[in-house]
């Protein structure tokens, strides 16, 4: 009689699995019904938003398995699909077709477009934590001497100077004003390192020499992009009005922060985290996370990006014998926060405005790609890298992502002396669309180039 027990256990597992799937579907339907057809108080909306974001991440995981595409790209595209812009565009047509069906089953359609995922501050915080965690983990896989060297500096300089000049001249040639031209140039200098490193990490190529050049150059690039942002934020009326004082101040602060952060952090780690534990303790985990968020805060407080501080903290922690166990301990935070960052990045762009400015968007995107390929790839070749590796470096520096979006956001929210926004809605759309397109295309190209490099 006992010989039938394994078969009984097997059937029990199968039916319990179906039961869990059914319960999961019911939960999803309840969440969607509450989000679409019910009123959710503001203090409870965050739970619906986080649930939907994690469900989108779960769908992305399944699509990655089905399509064999980079996880990051799928998250970005799904972010576009669930954004308020897409919902506002497709909701009227969907409701017109679905109203008779819904009323037939006793469900009253909402009178207005529901707000599924809006401009929630908590979602923004979760997204910011996601990119900080991502850069922190990447920093722990890097070595200080491989980040801050002459090769990376020249690659970063080439990836800032050429795009800024080309973007400025293109905007002037196309009839844009001086302020718009400055913002276009500044947006082209940025590099969204989070997109590239996530793809490289997914493909297990993060420790390759070209990946280390991308990481180091992107950190330096981020600092230089902030210098460019300091230039355009002062909003000069013409070229003669530009002052180099703010630029010199930002460069000085960045240099002091990076050097002192590395030196003091190394001493701190040697003093408090130089031991080995069989399992990472709460004290060690809390201490290392405190160091991460302190560096991120200090970087923001000094006018730099928080991701610079997060990456520096990762470099510092990499000297600890506990670094590899900390990396494993961060898995749960990575699963929750990093997908939300990439989904929210896709939600920022209104792709429905692109057709109205298709020609300048395509032209600016092409310029964004070419100037990074040449500006970063050529110095890499001159410093002794192979052509294929230099091409990978240039392509890895292409995505503009959230940094360019932030620059565009500053432009549309900053008022000129006449009280009007520096950038109008159409100009903002052009920059934001370029940032989105240059980000979405990178994972596909990077995957193909890495595969070619491995074959070679």
Which uninterrupted H or E stretch holds 174? none
pLDDT of 370 above 90: yes
> pLDDT, tens digit, for every residue of 313-350?
888 888 788 777 887 888 878 878 888 887 877 777 77
pLDDT of 355 above 70: yes
Q: What distance in Å separates the CA atoms of residue 88 and residue 350, rounded to the nearest whole number? A: 11
Q: What is the pLDDT of residue 402?
A: 67
Please tell me the least confidently modeled range out of 29-43, 197-211, 218-232: 29-43
In terms of pLDDT, which residue wins out, 191 or 27? Answer: 191
Helix boundaries (H) for 302-330: 306-317, 323-329
Q: What distance in Å separates the CA atoms of residue 78 and residue 65, rounded to the nearest whole number? A: 15
Q: Give the chain's radius of gyration (CA, Å).
A: 24
In terms of pLDDT, which residue wins out, 391 or 400? Answer: 391
Beta bridge partner(s), residue 377 = none
Domain range summary for the chain, segments of one domain joined by +: 121-455
Nearest to 254 by CA among 234, 233, 228, 227: 227
Confidence of residue 49 (pLDDT cuts 50, 70, 90): confident
Q: What distance in Å separates the CA atoms of residue 240 and residue 119, rounded to the nearest whole number? A: 39
Confidence of residue 33 (pLDDT cuts 50, 70, 90): low
Beta bridge partner(s), residue 415 = 421
Q: What distance in Å separates the CA atoms of residue 222 and residue 401, rounded to the nearest whole number? A: 12
Confidence of residue 66 (pLDDT cuts 50, 70, 90): low
What are the structure tokens assigned to 22, written together? Answer: 């059914």
In terms of pLDDT, which residue wins out, 250 or 450? Answer: 450
Which uninterrupted H or E stretch holds 160? helix 150-173
Q: What distance in Å separates the CA atoms of residue 353 and residue 163, rounded to the nearest whole number? A: 24
> pLDDT, tens digit, for every residue of 268-317?
888 887 777 777 778 888 888 888 899 988 888 887 777 778 888 888 88
* pLDDT, average across residues 410-439: 77
Confidence of residue 124 (pLDDT cuts 50, 70, 90): confident
Q: What is the pLDDT of residue 245?
A: 59
Q: What is the pLDDT of residue 191?
A: 81
Q: What is the mean pLDDT of the chain?
A: 76
Collapsing DSSP states into helix, strand and coil, what is residue 247? helix
> Do the Cβ atoms of 390 and 373 come closer than 8 Å?
no
Q: What distance in Å separates the CA atoms of residue 101 and residue 107, rounded to the nearest whole number? A: 9
Q: What is the pLDDT of residue 366?
A: 94
In terms of pLDDT, which residue wins out, 242 or 133? Answer: 133
* pLDDT, average across residues 120-131: 78
Nearest to 434 by CA among 215, 155, 185: 185
pLDDT of 371 above 70: yes
What are the structure tokens assigned to 78, written together? Answer: 């799904």
Helix boundaries (H) for 82-120: 84-104
Q: What is the pLDDT of residue 299?
A: 83
Class at the top of the CATH hierarchy for domain 121-455: mainly alpha
Q: Token match 């793809």: residue?
A: 199
């Amino acid at each position: 009689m006992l010989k039938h027990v394994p078969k009984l256990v097997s059937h029990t597992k199968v039916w319990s699995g179906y039961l869990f799937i059914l319960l999961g579907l019911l939960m999803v339907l309840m969440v969607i019904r509450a989000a679409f057809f019910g009123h959710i108080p503001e203090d409870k909306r965050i739970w619906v938003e986080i649930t939907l974001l994690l469900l989108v991440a779960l769908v992305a995981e399944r699509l990655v398995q089905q399509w064999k595409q980079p996880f990051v790209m799928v998250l970005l595209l799904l972010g576009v699909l669930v954004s308020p812009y897409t919902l506002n565009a497709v909701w009227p047509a969907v409701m017109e077709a679905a109203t008779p069906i819904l009323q037939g089953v006793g469900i009253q359609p909402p009178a207005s477009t529901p707000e599924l995922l809006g401009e929630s501050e908590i979602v923004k915080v979760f997204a910011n934590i996601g990119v900080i965690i991502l850069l922190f983990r990447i920093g722990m896989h890097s070595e200080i001497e491989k980040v801050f060297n002459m090769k990376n500096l020249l690659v970063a300089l080439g990836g800032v100077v050429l795009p800024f000049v080309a973007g400025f001249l293109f905007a002037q040639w196309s009839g844009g004003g001086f302020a718009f031209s400055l913002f276009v140039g500044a947006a082209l200098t940025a590099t969204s390192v989070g997109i590239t490193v996530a793809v490289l990490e997914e493909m297990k190529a993060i420790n390759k020499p070209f990946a280390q050049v991308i990481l180091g150059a992107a950190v330096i690039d981020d600092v230089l992009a902030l210098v460019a942002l300091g230039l355009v934020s002062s909003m000069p009326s013409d070229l003669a009005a530009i002052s180099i004082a703010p630029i010199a101040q930002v460069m000085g602060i960045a240099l002091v922060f990076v050097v002192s952060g590395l030196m003091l952090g190394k001493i701190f780690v040697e003093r408090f985290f130089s031991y080995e534990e069989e399992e990472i303790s709460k004290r060690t985990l809390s201490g290392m996370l405190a160091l991460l968020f302190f560096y991120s805060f200090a970087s923001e407080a000094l006018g730099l990006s928080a991701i610079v501080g997060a990456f520096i903290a990762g470099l510092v922690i990499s000297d600890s014998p506990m670094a590899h166990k900390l990396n494993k301990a961060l898995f749960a935070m990575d699963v929750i926060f990093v997908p939300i960052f990439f989904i929210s990045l896709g939600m920022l762009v209104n792709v429905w405005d692109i057709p109205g400015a298709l020609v300048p968007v395509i032209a600016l995107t092409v310029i964004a790609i070419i100037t990074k390929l040449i500006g970063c790839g050529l110095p890499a070749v001159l410093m002794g890298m192979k052509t294929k590796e230099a091409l990978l470096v240039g392509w890895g520096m292409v995505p503009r992502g959230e940094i360019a979006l932030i620059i565009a956001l500053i432009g549309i929210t900053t008022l000129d002396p006449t009280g009007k926004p520096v950038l109008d809605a159409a100009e903002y759309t052009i920059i934001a669309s370029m940032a989105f397109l240059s980000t979405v295309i990178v994972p596909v190209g990077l995957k193909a180039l890495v595969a070619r490099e491995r074959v070679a």
